[in-house]
Structure 1
Amino acid sequence: MRQDLGMLRSSGNPPVSRDLRLLPKAHLHLHFTGSMRPGTLLELADKYGVHLPEALSGGAPPQLRATDERGWFRFQRLYDIARSCLREAEDIRRLVREAAEEDAADGSRWLEIQVDPTSYAPRLGGLIPAMEIILDAVETAARDTGIGIRVLVAANRVKHPLEARTLARLAVRFRDRGVVGFGLSNDERRGMARDFDRAFAIAREGGLLAAPHGGELSGPTSVRDCLDDLEAARVGHGVRAAEDPRLLRELADRGVTCEVCPSSNVALGVYEKAADVPLRTLFEAGVPIALGADDPLLFGSRLAAQYELAREHHGFTDEELAELSRQSVRGSAAPEGVRARLLADVDAWLADGRPRAEG
């Protein structure tokens, strides 16, 4: 699964900075509520009489440091307040439509959005009605925007593993309606990965991709647990694997994609600055990477900005950025025909040579 990285730097031609918003991409790490536009949150909060703290209403992304328990609690509290503003089916439809529009503007051609339906079920009539509303919204948004959209159902690792099994069965039930994977989110420092092994077995046996979070707030051991205990095909974040060369080799050899979210890593205090995110370490070790925006509502930047970060802070050439895009496509659950078209379009972007747009 390793690639010849030297081929990406072999050209003697001067570099051309192409418009990264035009680079076709797959977006594999975007959370449901966190995809919301800030203006939409303000409107929904006003509609339902929800008081927003200044961190959510001040116009700038909140200052978050989640590397300690108090900081993570504050992050979760802000997320929960935002989620409380999604109360009706129309709110769900609006969120998905706008998330798809934002992704399309950033060059995303394939989006896998992650949702824990238990968070919305009480207001939408239960788990099954909630899933039907979400998947109907996904189908409509995909048709209206022209990008492929699928869903990953995510369990919450701070809740009981039996709930995760229920969600895994629910996810498999809706496989033919657009659910492609099963995840595990929230604070990876709480709840052992192996406690959720049965839920992931249910999902895999039902034909779903395993994509748990790991290697963000906890070190490389949490990535190892995702591989060994949950048989992950992808790892949400996974950046801390850079601290373990042996683990890097295994990720590369097995072709396990890490869904790296650079802006999120800095905003949550995992790394002090953008240049510290070990993108180059992962890339040069041959670990497949899918750049993701995570929670744009809280972190202030969407998908194309993650590619800009790789260019500006890590010196990625356009050839290397195109390879990052290809890796996102290969790591996706998109059908083979869709992958082939996307990969051809990435090659066309690289061959075009037009400079990036100003402004």
Structure 2
Amino acid sequence: MNNLNQMPKVELHLHLEGGAPPAFIKGLAREKSIDIAGIFNEDGSYRFADFWDFLKVYEAACTTLTGPQEFYRLTLAVLEESAASGVVYSETFLSPDFCGGGDLGAWREYLHAIEEAAAKAEADFGITLRGIVTPIRHFGPEKARVVARCAAETAGRFITGFGIGGDEKSGALKDFSWSFDMAREAGLRITAHAGEWKGPDEVRAAINDLGAERVGHGVRAIEDMALVEEIAERGIVLELCPGSNVALGIYPSFRAHPIGEMYDRGVKVTINTDDPPFFHTTMAREYEMLHQAFDWDEGVFAKIARTALDAAFCDADTKTRILKTLEQAHG
């Protein structure tokens, strides 16, 4: 389907550092004389063996992002790539752990640079960005409290959500409830990575222990049909990342991915890239692969984009503006 690439798209699950093109990170490493050659394949792509190896490579790549200026450049590079796939609105995960080490003053400086780049990208590429602050799960609950304070202090038009990423097998989600309560009290909307590497109970924990209205991944819910039914009934939105799940071996192919069955069962599914250059994907590729796997037409993709916009954590004025863009394209 030739028009899929041009269709306006809404993405809710994108890690900013995880969107860094390998050539961009390699260039920064060269500028700073940082030796991270081991994280790249001969063809220049990122090299990792499994999810836990991916986390190490991701953190190694982040060592090149040493200040606000690097994040300004990173944000522009990532948004240019997204816009090339037709993304008109994106939400990205940001971690004060990688932006100033949890220091509030430093975090404000990084955030200012990211917002400046987002404004330039909106003017240049027509893409709107909002931020979701995320502690790193395997860094532990105490560090998460520091991150939550950073999020609460900078909540507003740009920082609109709070989530959690990292190693799902590290600790229990309920251990982070203090941080989520603080974020919620600051007016931030709640999402959480769950049900990617652990089963359906982890998705339940995200919804019941953290009050998540959206769940990042959540694919393993398919192993418990009562949970799938509950998610559909309650209108919980799943930020699904099929290309990521296939690349990491959770499912052998797009056809085997549960997004098709979840959609058919009335779950509010959205399409996302997660860490696109790591997983050799783009939003345009996700659309194309899902079209091939499930024979979805433009009407299905238009409906999913609208679901994503409805679930977006931005203000009403921004939603109205983006909706006009979707409606102009979809009729």
Both proteins in one fold, TM over 0.5: yes
1:99 alignment partner AA: V
Report Cα offsets for 1:71-109 as digits up to 9, x if no partner.
333111111111011113221110001111112222212
Secondary structure of the residue aligned to 1:113 is strand
What is the alpha-carbon distance in structure 1 between the residues aligned to residue 277 and residue 283 of structure 2? 12
What is the alpha-carbon distance in structure 1 between the residues aligned to residue 104 and residue 262 of structure 2? 38
Residue of 17, 26, 30 corresponding to 1:33: 17
- When normalised by structure 1's length, the TM-score is 0.86
Residue of 168, 187, 191 corresponding to 1:211: 191
Report Cα offsets for 1:291-330 as digits up to 9, x if no partner.
1111123112122221112111122111111111111111
What is the alpha-carbon distance in structure 1 between the residues aligned to residue 325 and residue 287 of structure 2? 17
Q: Does residue 1:147 correspond to 2:127, yes or no?
A: yes
Secondary structure of the residue aligned to 1:118 is coil
Q: Does residue 1:100 correspond to 2:79, yes or no?
A: yes
1:137 corresponds to:
114
2:89 corresponds to:
110
What is the alpha-carbon distance in structure 1 between the residues aligned to residue 326 and residue 26 of structure 2? 36
2:275 corresponds to:
295
Q: Decide whether the 8 Å contact of 2:69 with 2:113 is kept in 1.
A: no
Please provide the CA RMSD for this pair.
1.9
1:141 alignment partner AA: A
What is the alpha-carbon distance in structure 2 between the residues aligned to residue 72 and residue 148 of structure 1? 30
- Unmatched segments (≥5 aa) in structure 1: 1-16, 66-70, 352-359
Q: Decide whether the 8 Å contact of 1:22 with 1:349 is kept in 2.
A: no
- Aligned length, in residue pairs: 328
What is the alpha-carbon distance in structure 2 between the residues aligned to residue 62 and residue 313 of structure 1? 26
1:128 corresponds to:
105
Residue of 82, 88, 91 corresponding to 2:70: 91
- Unmatched segments (≥5 aa) in structure 2: none
What is the alpha-carbon distance in structure 1 between the residues aligned to residue 162 and residue 323 of structure 2? 25
Q: Decide whether the 8 Å contact of 1:32 with 1:114 is kept in 2.
A: yes
Report the alpha carbon displacement of residue 177 of structure 1 after superposing the two structures with TM: 5.5
- When normalised by structure 2's length, the TM-score is 0.92
Residue of 163, 166, 179 corresponding to 1:183: 163
1:6 corresponds to:
none
2:111 alignment partner AA: I
Q: Decide whether the 8 Å contact of 1:263 with 1:274 is kept in 2.
A: yes
Instruction: State how 1:1-359 maps to structure 2 within 5 Å.
Output: 17=1, 19-59=3-43, 61-62=45-46, 64=48, 71-122=50-101, 126-145=103-122, 146-176=126-156, 178-351=158-331
Which protein has greater RCO, CA pairs closer than 8 Å, 6+ apart? 1
- Identical aligned residues as a percent: 32
